[in-house]
Chain A
Amino acid sequence: MEQPEWLFDLSPTAPADRRERAFRAFLATWQQPIYRFIRRMVLTHEDADDVTQETLVQVARSVDSFRGEAAFSTWLYQIANRKALDHIAAKQRRAARWTRWAPQMEDRLAALSADPHFDGEDAERRLHAGLACLPPRQKQVFILRYFEEMPYAEMAIITQRSEGSLKASYHHASEKLKKLVLQED
């Protein structure tokens, strides 16, 4: 499996200047794609910022534990995905302490309308509000498949699920989204 040139210079055993160069090269390639993936998962800029920084720094620090059996990008998405799901679960637990928490389409639409960092059209607003209402695992499957255009085999490694169950999740997510998006028309 071919890996990026800078990958092994991230190791703690590499000299500091090479390590820093490698980290900058790593960020130049992956910072924005991972931010976009996480932003779609967690929705707000503040949350995406936290999760992205945590993911990228952790990946770079633990590069020695990367065994190279899969592509580096698969490993990176696996960690980003887990971090985003953990973040969503923690946020849900905090919210559920006070109320019976379940995201509602209207609340999400209102939140996106008020978000100064959202500049989508109405269809995009409805799509992302709908996405925020899906169960986290369906949302993750939809984002990986639809926006990241990832093959099911790679998604299976990232999510640790079978391809069959991913296909079923994608189908359910699409159907729910269709209903949620059209509900507003």
Chain B
Amino acid sequence: MNPREFPKRFPFRVPEGYHASAAAAMTDAFMAETAVGVRKSRSYQMAAAAIFTGLLIAAAGWLYLESASRPACVTFACLLEETETELLESEYELLMEEAAWDLELAPWSSSDSF
């Protein structure tokens, strides 16, 4: 038998109505995924926009309060003093935080130990 003589017909059947029902199932799967995708991306976009706006408002408020509470530094000495004060303040905050931590960890600070 020459390979050119092999029968070319498609000898397989499909269950009745198969192609139509498979097409409907695939369309549903395709469109459902799309809808979920669109919903997801829209809600992500809205959440990102809300966070960005919140950050923007907070930054603007902080800048406003900062500028209102302090006179602007115009000399190097003033800037230096301000930096030192900030450093001292942050060091103080750290010390206080550590002390609070020690207090919480101390056995006598826990209500269970009484």
**Residues of chain A contacted by B11 (CB below 8 angstroms):** 118-121, 124-125, 128
Tell me what chain B mostly uses at the interface: helix, strand, loop, or mixed.
Answer: helix
Return the chain B residue nearest A185 by Cβ: B1
* Residues B6 and A177 in contact, CB atoms below 8 Å apart: yes
In the complex, 23 of the A-B residue pairs with CB atoms within 8 angstroms, ordered by the A residue number, are: A12-B38, A20-B30, A23-B27, A24-B27, A27-B23, A31-B22, A31-B26, A45-B14, A45-B18, A53-B25, A53-B26, A53-B29, A61-B30, A117-B14, A118-B11, A118-B13, A120-B9, A121-B11, A123-B7, A124-B9, A146-B3, A181-B6, A182-B1
Write the nearest CB–CB distance from B83 to chain A, whole angstroms: 51
Q: Does A141 contact B (CB under 8 A)?
A: no
Q: B33 at interface (Cβ–Cβ under 8 A)?
A: yes
- In the complex, are the beta carbons of B34 and A19 less than 8 A apart? yes
Within 8 A of A (CB), among B18-65: 18-19, 22-23, 25-27, 29-31, 33-35, 37-38
B8 (CB) vs chain A CBs: closest residue: A147
Min CB distance, A108 to chain B, in Å?
14
Q: A73 on the interface (CB 8 Å rule)?
A: no
Using A36-B10, A117-B14, A118-B11 as known contacts, say yes or no to A52 and B31 having CB atoms under 8 A apart: no
Q: B31 contacts which of A19, A117, A124 (Cβ < 8 Å)? A: A19
- Residue-wise, chain A 55-79 has the 8 Å CB interface mask toward B (1 for contact) of 0110011000000000000000000
Residues of chain B lying within 8 A (CB to CB) of residue A31 = 19, 22-23, 26
Q: Is A178 an interface residue, CB under 8 A from the partner?
A: yes
Does residue A137 face the partner (Cβ distance < 8 Å to B)?
no
Task: Answer whether residue A127 sits at the interface, using C-beta atoms and an 8 A cutoff.
Answer: yes
Report how far A16 CA is from B23 CA in the complex, Å.
17
**A39 within 8 A of partner (CB):** yes
In the bound complex, do residue A60 and residue B30 qualify as a contact, i.e. CB atoms below 8 Å apart? yes
Is residue B76 within 8 Å, beta carbon to beta carbon, of the partner chain? no
Q: Give, as a whole number of angstroms, the nearest-CB distance from A22 to chain B.
A: 10
- Complex CA gap A181/B22 in Å reads 34
B30→A57 contact, CB < 8 A: yes
CA A118 to CA B10, docked complex, whole Å = 9
Q: How far is the CA of A32 from the CA of B23 in the complex (A)?
A: 10
- Which residues of chain A have C-beta atoms less than 8 A from B9's C-beta? 120, 124
A138-185 contacts to B, CB under 8 A, are 146-147, 174, 177-178, 181-182
User: Which residues of A are found within 8 Å of B13, using beta-carbon distances?
Assistant: 117-119
Are the C-beta atoms of A45 and B12 separated by less than 8 Å?
A: yes
Provide the residues of chain A in CB contact with B26, threshold 8 Å. 23, 27, 31, 53, 56-57
- Per CB-CB distance, the 10 closest pairs between chain A and chain B, nearest first, are A120-B11, A174-B3, A124-B11, A117-B13, A27-B23, A124-B7, A23-B30, A123-B7, A127-B6, A119-B13
Could you say which residues of chain A place their CB within 8 Å of the CB of B1? Answer: 178, 181-182
